[in-house]
């Protein structure tokens, strides 16, 4: 499945674990917060469609299972103890091709809602 054909999100649940207001913590971060979420990808789950991280940098860490990250025409599998950065140049979509749920922790900087 190519990047352009990524389906809509299905089989993924998200739990907000924590947020922290960055105003006053780091100069220039007014209106922004640090956010930590846990995502569970059931077998066959997809997190799509293709999306970017411009203005929303972060990092991901895999706790369980394997998540396949599709970007730049390729696919990379990440298992427990591994992860990846999501910076302004990241354009991708994710899936769980495995037979067990995959769980990741995602931490990013976002605009306060």
Domain ranges of the chain: 3-111
* pLDDT score, position 6: 66
Q: 96-112: per-residue pLDDT in tens?
A: 999 999 999 999 999 98
Q: What are phi and psi of 47, to 5 degrees?
A: -115, 100
- Please give the class, per CATH, of domain 3-111: mainly beta
Query: What is the Rg, in whole angstroms, of the alpha carbon atoms belonging to the chain?
Result: 14
Distance CA 53, CA 90 (A): 6
Q: 6-20: per-residue pLDDT in tens?
A: 678 999 999 999 999
Residue 5 pLDDT grade (very low, low, confident, very high; cuts 50, 70, 90): low
What is the number of residues in the chain?
113
Q: 46-91: per-residue pLDDT in tens?
A: 998 888 899 899 999 999 999 999 998 899 999 999 999 999 999 9
* pLDDT score, position 1: 43
């Amino acid at each position: 499945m190519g990047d352009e054909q990524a389906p809509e999100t299905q089989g993924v649940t998200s739990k907000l674990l924590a947020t922290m207001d960055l105003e006053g913590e780091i100069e220039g971060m007014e209106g922004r917060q640090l956010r930590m979420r846990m995502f569970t990808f059931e077998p066959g789950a997809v997190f799509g469609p293709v999306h970017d991280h411009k203005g929303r940098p972060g990092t991901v860490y895999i706790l369980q299972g394997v998540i396949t990250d599709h970007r730049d025409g390729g696919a990379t599998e990440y298992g427990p103890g591994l992860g990846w950065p999501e910076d302004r140049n990241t354009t991708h979509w994710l899936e769980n091709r495995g037979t067990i749920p995959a769980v990741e922790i995602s931490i990013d900087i976002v605009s306060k809602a």
